[in-house]
Amino acid sequence: MPRKRVRLTAAARRDLVEIARYVSERSGEERAAQLVRAIVRAAGSCARRPGIGRAHPELGDGVRSFLVKSWRLYYLVVTDGVAVLRILHTRRDLASAWAEEPDDEH
């Protein structure tokens, strides 16, 4: 069985960079690196088991999310794996964050 791919959209890449910067400034580089690794592992889990997490039909057909510590990874199942759409803190206003910048890469 071929390995499932994880693709980060431009918005998700920006989110990940911002998360790393934010956590690094507040808790140190090692803590930020640990969190980034946890998010990457979670994305891999979503690719291997695409039905995990919660469905979000209000965000679009097929959009699901998976919780990683205090961040929620939003993804779509695609032919060869998953496309990570956004990675947002659970306290963030979802509607405004989702509307910030459309990402048509998926």
Note the pLDDT tens digit of each residue in 5-44: 999 999 999 999 999 999 999 999 999 999 999 999 999 9
Phi-psi region of 16 (alpha: psi -120 to 50; beta: other; left: phi over 0): alpha
| CATH number of the domain enclosing 12 | 3.30.2310.20
Assess if residue 104 is contained within a domain: no
Assess if residue 43 is contained within a domain: yes
| pLDDT at residue 99 is higher than 90 | no
Assess if residue 34 is contained within a domain: yes
Assess if residue 45 is contained within a domain: yes
Q: Which long-range contacts (CB under 8 A, 24 or more apart) does 102-106 make?
A: 103/9, 103/10, 103/11, 103/12, 105/7, 105/9, 105/10, 106/9, 106/76, 106/78
Whether this prediction's pTM lies above 0.75 is answered by yes
Assess if residue 100 is contained within a domain: no
Residue 101 is predicted with a pLDDT of 61
Residue 1 is predicted with a pLDDT of 57
Residue 19 is predicted with a pLDDT of 96
State how many domains the chain has.
1
Axis-axis angle for helices 10-27, 29-48 (nearest 10)? 150
Structure-token match 């032919």, residue found: 79
| pLDDT at residue 104 is higher than 70 | no
Assess if residue 11 is contained within a domain: yes
Residue 106 is predicted with a pLDDT of 47
Domain hosting residue 60, numbered range: 5-94
Assess if residue 102 is contained within a domain: no
Assess if residue 10 is contained within a domain: yes
